[in-house]
Amino acid sequence: MTETVQVKMSLFGNAETGKTSLLTRYISGEYTHNYIQTLGVGFREKQINIGTQPVTLALWDIGGEAEFQTMIPLSADGAHVILFCFDLSQPATLAAVKSWYRQVRAINREAHAVLVGAKWDLFMSVDEKQRSETLAMARKYAKTMAAPLVFVSAEKGVNVNRLFKLCIAKVFGLPLPSEQCSDETKPIFEFE
């Protein structure tokens, strides 16, 4: 019997940026409109197979409130992938990614970083000027971080599975998904 491989993925970002909803959609395929605050660190698992290799994804979700920042070392240490999440409809949450990035990278410089813009469904109702500014800033951050940029909607299920497939491909050195999307009117999916 093949031994199960453990892969740790941790999500960081301000409160109410969609981290928990993203994980819920990925793990169970469900979405709730009710806000569920993560107190401290949420931990969930998902079993997958890469070919014949069983893999356990350990998914860590840190509460975005300031009082939970003491949990950053626990969540960041040993992570293979770190997803820096922001709410596309709230530009201040993207600006906050800088601080999250500095704190997390001080602990774990080896993990693959991914910049995740959540709530794409809400983003499309934002005025065009703000959308363009947010996209330009997100691309700048992603380039500085040497990270893929992925826009998702947990509510609609947009790019959720593709995001985690990209993360898994990065960890295992598998071919990256072939289709990227840079069209501002569609959910962004960019990587190098």
What confidence score (pLDDT) does residue 43 get?
84
Q: What is the pLDDT of residues 123-169, one digit of tens each?
A: 999 999 999 999 999 999 999 999 999 999 999 999 999 999 999 99
What confidence score (pLDDT) does residue 184 get?
84
What is the pLDDT confidence band of residue 170, given thresholds at 50, 70 and 90? very high
Residue 130 contacts by C-beta under 8 Å, 6 or more apart in sequence? Answer: 91
Backbone angles phi, psi at 130, to 5 degrees: -65, -40
Range of the domain at 100: 5-190
What confidence score (pLDDT) does residue 68 get?
60
The pLDDT of residue 120 is above 90: yes
Residue 59 contacts by C-beta under 8 Å, 6 or more apart in sequence? Answer: 9, 10, 11, 23, 26, 27, 43, 44, 45, 46
The pLDDT of residue 63 is above 80: no
Domains held by the chain: number? 1
pTM value? 0.92
The more confidently predicted of residues 33 and 138 is 138
Angle in degrees, 0-180, between the axes of helices 97-105 and 128-145, rounded to the nearest 10: 10
For residue 129, give both structure tokens.
């000027």
What is the pLDDT confidence band of residue 82, given thresholds at 50, 70 and 90? very high
What confidence score (pLDDT) does residue 40 get?
58
CATH number of the domain bearing residue 162: 3.40.50.300
The more confidently predicted of residues 138 and 68 is 138
Report the mean per-residue pLDDT for the chain. Answer: 90
Question: Residues 95, 85, 88, CA angle at the centre, nearest 5°?
Answer: 65
Q: What percent of the chain stands above pLDDT 70?
A: 92
Average confidence (pLDDT) over 42-63:
91
Average confidence (pLDDT) over 22-38:
76
The more confidently predicted of residues 190 and 34 is 190
